[in-house]
Amino acid sequence: MDRLSRIDMLVELLKKEPNDIFLIYALGIEHVAELNLDEAETHFKRTLEINPDYVPSYYQLGKLFESQLKNEEALHYFRTGLEKAKEQKNNRSVNEFKEAIFMLEE
């Protein structure tokens, strides 16, 4: 299945389950791959509106802003995600956020 077909499929699934956080997140990932960064940002932020503790969206937003050289915005999402990951005792994510912050602050 090609990427555009996956996007269409996710859009159709979201019509049935408009607040399904995984579908919204997956749609954001697909838009990143298509370099449709505004749409990706919208979807990742939507996941955080539904669940502010959804750690993967903080990481993806950080990477998205980093790719656009918007380092302050990237650091904001990485730092917020780091705090959420610590609260959740998600050590793998803690390490990923620390690494991302370290790379931007150098």
pLDDT of residue 59: 98
pLDDT 10s per residue in the chain (106 long)? Answer: 666 688 999 999 999 999 999 999 999 999 999 999 999 999 999 999 999 999 999 999 999 999 999 999 999 999 999 999 999 999 999 999 999 999 999 8
Encoded tokens for 64: 């998205």
- At which residue do the structure tokens 């954001």 appear? 28
Q: What is the DSSP letter of 51?
A: -
pLDDT of residue 4: 66
pLDDT of residue 25: 98
Distance (Å, rounded) from C-alpha 51 to C-alpha 45?
A: 10
pLDDT of residue 3: 61
CATH architecture of 52-106: Alpha Horseshoe (1.25)
Encoded tokens for 15: 């019509």
Residues of the chain with CATH 1.25.40.10: 52-106
Q: How many CB atoms lie within 10 A of CB 56?
A: 18
Q: Is the dihedral of CA 74, 79, 85, 90 positive or negative?
A: positive
